C-alpha cells in the first residue's frame, strides 16, 4: 500500500494530523479522546510547483494550525468555565505575530545598527551578525518557554506526533510497543523548518541592499531612517520567498537524510527538537494515533 505524506502539529491536549486530502484533530478530554475531521479540497496545479508550493504550504498550515488550536482550546475548557471566544484567540495570534516581527526581525536589525555596522556598506557581515542574533533570540525563547508546565505538555504531544509518524513511515504495525521505540525527533519537523528559514534568510537578506541599489541608484541619497524603513519592509515582504526556498530545502533534507552531508545540514534542527519535543506518555501516544488513523 502506498504511504501517504502525513504531517501534523501538537495542539492543546492533543495532536492535529494532516494528509493531502484530510485533517484530523484529536484531543484528550477526561477519559475520552474526541476528534474533529475535515476533508480538504483538491490542490490546484500551481500549488505543486517548486518554491510556490512552499509559500502556499506555509500560509495553509498557519491557517489550519490556528483553526486546530482554536478548536482544541474550546474543547479543553472545563464545564462552567467561560469559553474562549474566537475573537480573543484571533487577537492573541495577531499579537503573537506582532511580537515575532518585533523580537525576531526588527530588534536584531536595530541592535546590529547600534553596533555601528551599515547594511549598505557591509551587507554580508551585517546580515551574518543580524542573523546569528535572530537565531540566539529564537533558541533562547524556545528554551525559556520550555520550562512552563503547559508548554512542556505541548512538547510531549509534539513528541507523540513524531513517534507515531515515524512508525507509520517505517511500515511497521501501529502498535504501542512499536511506536514507543521510535525517536521524538523528525527531520521534516516545523522546528527544523524554522532553522532552515533563519539560515536562508541570512543569505537572502545579504543581497537585498545590492539589489535595491542596482535598480534604484537614488537609494544611497535617502535619509538614514528612509533607508532603514525600506530595507526592513523588504525583509518582511520576502519572507514568503524565503519560506518557499526553505520548504524545498526541508523536502530535500528528508529525502536524502541518509547522506553524510545532509546529516550535518539537518543536525541543528534535530538538536533544537531535543527542546521542542519531550517523551510522551502512552495516553498522549493514543491521542496522536487516533489523529493519524483519522487521516489514513
pLDDT tens, position by position, 227-261: 888 988 888 888 888 888 888 877 777 777 666 77
- Residue 184 and residue 278 in contact, taking contact as beta carbons nearer than 8 Å: yes
Q: How confident is the model at residue 82 (pLDDT cuts 50, 70, 90)?
A: low
- The yes-or-no verdict on residue 283 having pLDDT over 90 is yes
CA–CA dist 74, 177 (Å, integer): 32
- Grid cell locating 261: 552531508
In the predicted model, is pLDDT for residue 175 greater than 70? yes
In the predicted structure, residue 276 carries a pLDDT above the cut 90: yes
For the four alpha carbons of 277, 147, 176 and 164, in that order, the dihedral sign comes to negative
Q: Residues 122-174: pLDDT tens digits?
A: 888 888 999 899 889 889 989 999 999 999 999 999 999 999 999 999 999 99
Higher pLDDT, 19 or 1: 19
Instruction: Say if residue 206's pLDDT is above 60.
Output: yes
Mean of the pLDDT values across residues 210-238? 87
**Better pLDDT: 72 or 78:** 72
Determine which of 158-162, 168-172, 217-221, 281-285 has the lowest per-residue pLDDT on average: 217-221
Q: Is residue 16 predicted with pLDDT exceeding 60?
A: yes
185: exposed, middle or buried (Cβ count in 10 Å: 0-12, 13-18, 19+): buried
Amino acid at each position: 500500500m502506498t504511504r501517504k505524506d502525513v504531517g501534523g502539529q501538537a495542539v492543546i491536549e492533543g495532536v492535529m494530523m494532516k494528509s493531502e486530502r484530510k485533517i484530523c484533530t484529536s484531543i484528550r478530554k477526561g477519559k475520552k479522546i474526541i476528534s474533529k475531521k475535515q476533508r480538504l479540497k483538491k490542490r490546484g496545479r500551481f500549488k505543486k510547483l517548486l518554491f510556490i508550493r512552499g509559500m502556499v504550504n506555509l500560509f495553509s498550515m498557519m491557517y489550519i494550525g490556528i483553526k486546530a488550536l482554536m478548536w482544541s482550546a474550546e474543547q479543553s475548557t472545563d464545564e462552567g468555565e467561560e469559553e474562549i471566544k474566537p475573537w480573543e484567540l484571533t487577537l492573541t495570534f495577531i499579537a503573537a505575530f506582532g511580537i515575532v516581527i518585533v523580537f525576531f526581525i526588527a530588534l536584531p536589525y536595530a541592535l546590529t545598527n547600534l553596533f555601528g555596522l551599515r547594511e549598505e556598506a557591509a551587507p554580508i557581515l551585517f546580515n551574518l551578525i543580524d542573523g546569528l542574533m535572530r537565531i540566539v533570540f529564537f533558541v533562547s525563547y524556545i528554551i525559556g518557554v520550555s520550562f512552563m508546565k503547559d508548554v512542556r505538555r505541548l512538547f510531549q504531544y509534539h513528541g507523540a506526533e513524531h513517534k507515531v509518524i515515524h512508525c507509520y513511515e517505517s511500515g511497521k504495525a501501529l502498535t504501542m510497543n512499536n511506536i514507543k521505540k521510535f525517536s521524538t525527533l523528525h527531520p521534516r519537523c516545523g522546528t527544523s523548518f524554522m532553522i532552515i528559514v533563519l539560515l536562508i534568510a541570512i543569505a537572502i537578506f545579504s543581497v537585498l541592499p545590492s539589489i535595491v541599489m542596482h535598480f534604484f541608484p537614488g537609494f544611497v541619497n535617502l535619509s538614514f531612517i528612509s533607508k532603514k524603513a525600506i530595507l526592513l519592509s523588504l525583509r518582511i515582504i520576502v519572507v514568503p520567498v524565503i519560506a518557499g526556498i526553505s520548504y524545498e530545502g526541508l523536502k530535500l533534507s528528508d529525502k536524502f537524510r541518509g547522506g553524510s552531508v545532509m546529516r550535518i545540514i539537518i543536525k541543528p534542527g534535530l538538536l533544537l527538537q531535543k527542546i521542542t519535543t519531550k517523551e510522551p506518555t502512552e495516553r498522549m501516544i493514543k491521542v496522536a494515533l487516533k489523529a493519524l488513523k483519522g487521516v489514513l
